[in-house]
Amino acid sequence: MSRIGVAFDKARADGRAVLVGCMPAGFPTVEGSIAAMTAMVEAGVDVIEMEIPYSDPVMDGPVIQKASDIALASGVRTADTLRIVEAVAATGAPVVTMTYWNPIEQYGVDAFARDLAAAGGTGLITPDLIPDEADEWLAASDAYGLDRTFLVSPSSTDARLKMTAEHCRGFVYATAIMGVTGARAETSDAAPILVSRTREVTDLPVGVGLGVGTGAQAGTVAGYADGVIVGSALIRCLLDAPDQATGLAALRALSAELAEGVRTPIR
Amino acid sequence: MSANANANASAPAGRVPDAAGHFGRFGGRFVPEALVAALDELDAAYRKAMTDEAFLAEFDALLRDYAGTPSLLYSAERFSAKAGARILLKREDLNHTGAHKVRNVLGQALLTKRMGKKRVIAETGAGQHGVATATAAALFDLECVVYMGEVDTRRQALNVARMRMLGATVVPVTTGSRTLKDAMNEAMRDWVANVDDTHYLIGTAAGPHPFPEMVRDFVRGIGEEARQQCLDLTGALPDAVAACVGGGSNALGIFHAFVPDTDVRLYGFEAGGEGVETGRHAASITGGTSGVLHGTRTYVLQNEDGQTIESHSISAGLDYPGVGPEHAWLHDSGRATYAPVTDTEAMAAFELLCRTEGIIPAIESAHALAGALKIAPTLAAELGREPVIVVNLSGRGDKDVHTAGEYFGILDKE
Ligand SMILES: Cc1ncc(COP(=O)(O)O)c(C=O)c1O
């Protein structure tokens, strides 16, 4: 079983959800992002979702766009992101990479899979790659034993939900809201329905993302999903801070609050 | 290139694009899952419409009675004398709203109605597509939001005013390079969030399947008309067809009918900006590499890491770092030839058309004119006679008067 699978199993045995925390690689710098992701793990984040910054992130809202722009402006390269995976994986937490497809295609799909596996990454979350176009990635992830997380959406038909879940390994990513990333005051009613529809077609754990920003919201999502995925709210801790120390302190505090939230599922 | 070389460029077996929208190794769908249902719905509606006589009759009537097509094919004698070739201008500039874009927009607006959607969104560079979309939205009583890079809202202020007059909301996009590619990102984000009641009316033959194929089909009347008009006028097919290539809709529109006529050379002219060698250009095929951008695999201006590089062109409508996947395929197959035209060359052709024919072209279209001027001597030498070149005059230059006035230094100081 994949390392992510182990994390989900352990959490399930403890009667709680897994907390997945997202951070762009190289934001605000390579070293700064390693410090941020390490702090998140220390404060209770179970799984790190490291996003490779991309110039045209169409699934992302303003917070991740801004952080990605800062990372790219600081000069982070795809090869650096592998170094970050290695450093963060050393904390013991599983590190899954989220990436738009073009950076991988340019690095070389097989080469990236090889290097990601060597760096200790668990696999990829691919927001703009659907299984229909993924032949090369299916082969490379099989060859190097990497997980594949494709997204399912409230608008997915039953047939697509089944097809997509069948191509996943590790966990399935349910996009709770029809919309881009960004913390919202309320998570959606569509999410529990999507999770139960997904459970009907797969035994894989289901993570829910898009919109979670507080411990209470994390508790709500933990009530029906196996994983709670948080991005923009964590990133904002760093974006809004006057300096790194303040940012990391805020990041730790929010990580701890969210970790508490996933341990108190509201059912 | 000889006519024979063109004839040898055979298409791969099977339907192009395939059912999943692949033109050879290009095209397809690189989109969030959230959009797949909407793309499938659109694909089904479009395929049904293209075999539905009621739809086709309604589309034809709109094109004729509202948009003013077929557009003229005009033999530009004085320009021809300077070019050393017989230049036939396909006068898409005379269409309602001033460009070829109205054809695509009317087709998609009709489909929007059929799908029962109440809202359209669009991206625009020069503003021509935004104006055309706002126009169709007014005509069909649809809510309309147009995303436009902030840089472009300034260079195309006149078109911003036109869109607002037509009742559209114009949203200046301040992310990234603040041009067409960023406007497209914002439109995609809007679509992901509002896909239930909204149609994304993409303005060129790019984006995820079925857009490239569908947009081409809505504008292919340009070439069908031009082919017949050329036969009527000259008794023969032209030696070459030339068009500018931004995302690629006007070029595919005029190429499509000629693709089987393998003796007719097809030339697409990309925006060479300050020169491809300077890196400041928008020539995705000539100066780019294969990659994925805005939902499709095609030629993209990008760095080694796959980060999109900002494009540069004096023409807002060509200032885009990608190109429709069918062009990428036509390039690879050798059926069409692509070459860059610099800002300077385009503006010289712009001026020449103004002064010889009394026609102010869009700066986009001036790239096609400049391209025709470049290929004319070679073609003449190859054929041993005056060549006949059909040039797609894709739009009129009213929107560019300020840019051109500044370029030529002919504006009065305030
Ligand atoms: C007049 C005109 N021609 C050409 C273009 C380029 O687009 P395409 O390559 O899709 O024809 C534009 C785009 O705005 C335009 O306004």
User: Are B32 and A127 within 8 A, CB to CB?
Assistant: yes
Q: Which of A166, A10, A162, A155 is nearest to A94 (CA)?
A: A10
- Identity of residue B240: A
- Identity of residue A23: M
Is residue B302 within 8 angstroms of chain A, CB to CB?
yes
What are the CA-CA distances from residue A57 to residues A95, B187, B208, B368 (Å)? Answer: 20, 12, 15, 33
- Identity of residue A134: A
For residues A150 and A164, the answer to whether their CB atoms sit within 8 Å is yes
Q: Is the CB of B323 under 6 A from ligand 1?
A: no
For residues A102 and B300, the answer to whether their CB atoms sit within 8 Å is yes
Q: Is the CB of B198 under 6 A from ligand 1?
A: no
- Please indicate, yes or no, if residue B194 is contained in any of the structural domains: no
Q: Which residues contact A18 (CB under 8 A, 6 or more apart)?
A: A7, A8, A11, A46, A47, A205, A207, A226, A227, A228, A262
| Both structure tokens of B284 | 């995705």
- Please indicate, yes or no, if residue B117 is contained in any of the structural domains: no
The confidence score (pLDDT) of residue A185 equals 62
Tens of pLDDT along chain A (267 residues) come to 788 999 999 999 999 999 999 999 999 999 999 999 999 999 999 999 999 999 999 988 889 999 999 999 999 999 999 999 999 999 999 999 999 999 999 999 999 999 999 999 999 999 999 999 999 999 999 999 999 999 999 999 999 999 999 999 999 999 977 777 776 666 568 899 999 999 999 999 999 987 889 999 999 999 999 999 999 999 999 999 999 999 999 999 999 999 999 999 998
Q: Is the CB of B129 under 6 A from ligand 1?
A: yes
User: Are A102 and B34 within 8 A, CB to CB?
Assistant: no
φ, ψ dihedrals at B58, nearest 5°: -65, -40
User: Are B33 and A153 within 8 A, CB to CB?
Assistant: yes
Number of other CB atoms surrounding residue B381 within 10 Å: 9
Any catalytic annotation for residue A142?
Answer: no
The 3 state secondary structure assigned to B7-58 is HHCCCCCCCCCCCCCEECCEECCCCCHHHHHHHHHHHHHHHHHHCCHHHHHH
What is the DSSP code (8-state) at residue B295?
T
The confidence score (pLDDT) of residue A187 equals 58
Categorise residue A209: left if φ over 0, alpha if ψ from -120 to 50, beta otherwise. beta
**Strands, E, within A121-246: which ranges?**
123-125, 147-149, 151-152, 172-175, 206-209, 227-230
Pocket test for ligand 1, best of B103, B163, B311, B394 (most atoms within 8 A of CB): B394
Residue A51: strand pairing partners: A24, A98
Q: Which parts of chain B sit beneath pLDDT 50?
A: 1-12
Q: Whose CA is nearest to atom 6 of ligand 1?
A: B246
* Predicted TM-score of the model (pTM): 0.95
The confidence score (pLDDT) of residue B6 equals 34
User: Are B307 and A72 within 8 A, CB to CB?
Assistant: yes
Cite the DSSP H helix spans in B115-197.
Answer: 128-140, 150-155, 157-165, 180-194
CA pair distance B323, B334, nearest whole angstrom: 16
| Both structure tokens of B273 | 């900006």
- Please indicate, yes or no, if residue B279 is contained in any of the structural domains: yes
For an interface test with B, give the residue of A51, A56, A161 to mutate (most B CBs within 10 A).
A56
For an interface test with B, give the residue of A51, A60, A106 to mutate (most B CBs within 10 A).
A106
Is residue B30 within 8 angstroms of chain A, CB to CB?
yes
Q: Which of A112, A101, A30, A116 is nearest to A71 (CA)?
A: A30
Query: Which of A57, A100, A156 lies nearest to residue B37, judging by beta carbons?
Result: A156
- Please indicate, yes or no, if residue B7 is contained in any of the structural domains: no
DSSP letters along A134-161, please? -HHHHHHHHHHT-EEE-EE-TT--HHHH
Ordered structural domains, chain A, with CATH: 3-263 (3.20.20.70)
Q: Which residues contact B81 (CB under 8 A, 6 or more apart)?
A: B356
Q: Which of B155, B201, B207, B205 is nearest to B178 (CA)?
A: B155
For residues B252 and B205, the answer to whether their CB atoms sit within 8 Å is yes
Pairing of strands B296-300, B289-293: antiparallel
The confidence score (pLDDT) of residue B1 equals 32
* A55 vs B contacts (CB less than 8 Å): 176, 307-308
Kindly tell me the sign of the dihedral angle through the C-alpha atoms of B43, A148, B325, B180.
positive
Q: Which domain covers residue B82, as residue numbers?
A: 66-98+218-408
CA pair distance B17, B262, nearest whole angstrom: 19
Q: Which residues contact B123 (CB under 8 A, 6 or more apart)?
A: B129, B130, B146, B147, B148, B180, B183, B184, B186, B187, B202, B203
Q: How far apart are the CA of A155 and the centre of ligand 1, in A?
A: 33
Any catalytic annotation for residue B365?
Answer: no
Give the distance from residue A43's alpha carbon to the nearest chain B alpha carbon, in angstroms.
31
Residue B80 is part of a domain; what is its CATH number?
3.40.50.1100
| Both structure tokens of B189 | 């984000």
User: Are A78 and B192 within 8 A, CB to CB?
Assistant: no
The confidence score (pLDDT) of residue B198 equals 96
CA pair distance B40, A116, nearest whole angstrom: 34
For residues B282 and B270, the answer to whether their CB atoms sit within 8 Å is yes
- Please indicate, yes or no, if residue B136 is contained in any of the structural domains: no
Alpha carbon A50 to chain centroid distance?
7
Number of domains composing chain B: 1
Q: How far apart are the CA of B317 and the centre of ligand 1, in A?
A: 5
CA pair distance A236, A240, nearest whole angstrom: 6
Peptide bond into B325 cis (omega under 30): no
Collapsing DSSP states into helix, strand and coil, what is residue B178?
Answer: coil
Q: How far apart are the CA of B244 and the centre of ligand 1, in A?
A: 8
- CB-based burial of residue B378 (10 Å sphere; 0-12 exposed, 13-18 middle, 19+ buried)? exposed
Q: Which of B158, B160, B161, B165 is nearest to B147 (CA)?
A: B160
> What are the pLDDT digits (tens) for B1-46?
333 333 333 444 578 899 999 999 999 999 999 999 999 999 999 9
Is residue B89 within 8 angstroms of chain A, CB to CB?
no
Number of other CB atoms surrounding residue A31 within 10 Å: 12
- Please indicate, yes or no, if residue B94 is contained in any of the structural domains: yes
- Please indicate, yes or no, if residue B128 is contained in any of the structural domains: no
For residues A207 and A226, the answer to whether their CB atoms sit within 8 Å is yes
Is residue B36 within 8 angstroms of chain A, CB to CB?
yes
- Please indicate, yes or no, if residue B74 is contained in any of the structural domains: yes
Among all chains, which residue has been given the structure tokens 């300050």?
Answer: B274
Give the distance from residue A228's alpha carbon to the nearest chain B alpha carbon, in angstroms.
19
For residues A177 and A210, the answer to whether their CB atoms sit within 8 Å is yes
With CA atoms as reference, the chain A residue closest to B298 would be: A102
For residues A101 and A74, the answer to whether their CB atoms sit within 8 Å is no
